[in-house]
Amino acid sequence: MIRSGRCRRPTSAPIAFGSLPSDRAGGGRLLGWSFGRQRTDGRSERVDRPEIILAPGPTPIPPEVLLAQGSPLVYHRGPRFGRLMRDVTSRLKELYRTSSADVLLMTSSGTGGLESAVQNCFSPGDEVFVPLAGFFADRWRRLAEAYGLVVRTIEYEWGSQVRPGDLATALAEHPVKAVLLTQSETSTGVIQPIQELARVANDAGALVIVDVVSSLGAVPFAFDEWGIDVAVGGSQKALSASPGIAFVAVSERAWEAAASSTNPRFYFDWAIYREFAALPDPENPWTPAISVMQGLHAALELYFQDGVDAALRRHALLSRGVKEGARALGLDLFGEGLERNWTVTAIRAPEGLDADTIASRIRADHGVVLAPGQGPLKGKVFRIGHFGYFSELDILRGLAALEMTLGALGYPVKRGAAVAAAEGVFAEAQGA
């Protein structure tokens, strides 16, 4: 209880929304997006509002998650944090669809979780296979090479799906210790066929290690059924929590590999995380991001109100709405396996327009954040994310802004075409 006179009030005036200094010289606001609006007396006034994020993550955060993050801290050595950590781990195991794996929670970006897999499962000189079909598949290659692994690859054109037959041939010609895969290649929008690729790797006796940072909770994934050994996720994607927590599911085969590997590790040493998680009141070995953990707990509770299957159906529906809206504008979609690509839609820029210009213009004019292309796709495609805390109205708003932006850039647009096409998708689903 706070006694009267013991709580100090701030002596300065509170900072009004939108009054923080610019995040760049002459540019936008730290809190969001600023634009001009004409008043009835003819004078212009500034309006500040949060940007509309339609990028592949971090995704928008629900109010319940923000409130949980703003709650008083739970001390990280004791029963309350132990219950929190146990609840989060239990929900994640359900999301991974595993009863056999250990799930480790790390204060890190998803990349840190991926690095932990390389540190714990391998020794310098071990051989791994990485199919290269985009920016994030190449991240696996760079991580493996940084720790002295020998990396064998097949290089695909960006936007391609990895062919299981190609992988089978490569592993038959040259066995490796593990295959490192990326389920959602957000640089291209392509969802890779992990179930089929994992079957091939298992048949060849290789460990199966998968980046599911931007796919877990958005597209089908089954750790036990598919024979996965390590799968690394992140808090800021389909679950719509804040960035800062990586979760790593580890099979018994992966633990056996970790027991004999010699790569150096300290902060990401799985054995220490397992030891602390097994305490009567589970803990993290190092001071965790407690507020983010509290938010992740709230995000998982929201996610499981309807369950995994309902979330997957919603992501498939929003994906169809975006894709039909883009087609209605005469735009070409990029990447193979479009019907399975529920996380991100990559769209080719119309002839004569630069995709980066479209992304920057829609953000400047309408406060809508799309992702530009990466690597060889820079300037050629822009990407719309539709996983996490999104509704049909968010998609319609984004498509309306895209229509207006393309029109302002000189592209012939039939006003309302994209919105109407997406509305048709959503209406059909409601009537089903």
Domain 307-431 has CATH 3.90.1150.10: yes
DSSP 410: T
SS (H, E, C) 91-109: HHHHHHCCCCCEEEEEECC
* pLDDT, position 296: 98
Which tokens sit at 237? 């994607």
- The percent of residues in the chain predicted with pLDDT above 70, rounded, is 89
Q: What is the mean pLDDT of the chain?
A: 91
Q: From residue 157, give the alpha-carbon distance in Å to each of 192, 313, 375, 377.
A: 14, 29, 12, 11
Q: From residue 410, give the alpha-carbon distance in Å to each of 218, 320, 358, 404.
A: 35, 26, 11, 10
* pLDDT, position 49: 78
pLDDT per residue as tens digits for the range 273-313: 999 999 999 999 999 999 999 999 999 999 999 999 999 99
Whole-angstrom Cα distance, residue 166 to residue 342?
A: 25
- Provide CB contacts within 8 A for 16, sequence distance 6+: none
Whole-angstrom Cα distance, residue 317 to residue 287?
A: 39
| Amino acid at site 275 | E
pLDDT per residue as tens digits for the range 57-111: 999 999 999 999 999 999 999 999 999 999 999 999 999 999 999 999 999 999 9
Whole-angstrom Cα distance, residue 162 to residue 231?
A: 18
CB 51 within 8 A of CB 365: no
Which of 18-22, 188-192, 334-338 has the weakest average pLDDT? 18-22
Question: Does 432 have pLDDT greater than 80?
Answer: no
Quickly state the pLDDT bin for 36 (edges 50, 70, 90). low
Whole-angstrom Cα distance, residue 384 to residue 355?
A: 12
Q: What angle do CA 170, 175, 180 make, to 5 degrees?
A: 75
CA torsion angle 393 399 400 404 (round to 10): 160
For the stretch 348-385, what's the b/e string if a residue is b when 16 or more beta carbons lie within 10 angstroms of its beta carbon? bbbeebbbbebbebbbeebbbbbbbbbeebebbbbbbb
pLDDT per residue as tens digits for the range 211-257: 999 999 999 999 999 999 999 999 999 999 999 999 999 999 999 99
Identify the CATH class of 63-305.
alpha beta
Whole-angstrom Cα distance, residue 53 to residue 344?
A: 13
* pLDDT, position 4: 32
* pLDDT, position 41: 60
Distance, C-alpha 29 to centroid of its chain: 25
CA torsion angle 14 19 22 23 (round to 10): 60
Question: Does 15 have pLDDT greater than 50?
Answer: no
* pLDDT, position 43: 58
Q: What angle do CA 261, 266, 269 make, to 5 degrees?
A: 55
Strand pairing category for 333-334 and 344-348: antiparallel
Quickly state the pLDDT bin for 48 (edges 50, 70, 90). confident
Whole-angstrom Cα distance, residue 396 to residue 174?
A: 49
Whole-angstrom Cα distance, residue 210 to residue 232?
A: 7
For the chain, give every domain's residue range.
63-305, 307-431
Q: Where are the alpha helices (DSSP H) in 261-410?
A: 270-277, 290-306, 308-328, 355-366, 392-408
pLDDT per residue as tens digits for the range 383-414: 999 999 999 999 999 999 999 999 999 999 99
Q: Where are the alpha helices (DSSP H) in 250-307?
A: 252-260, 270-277, 290-306
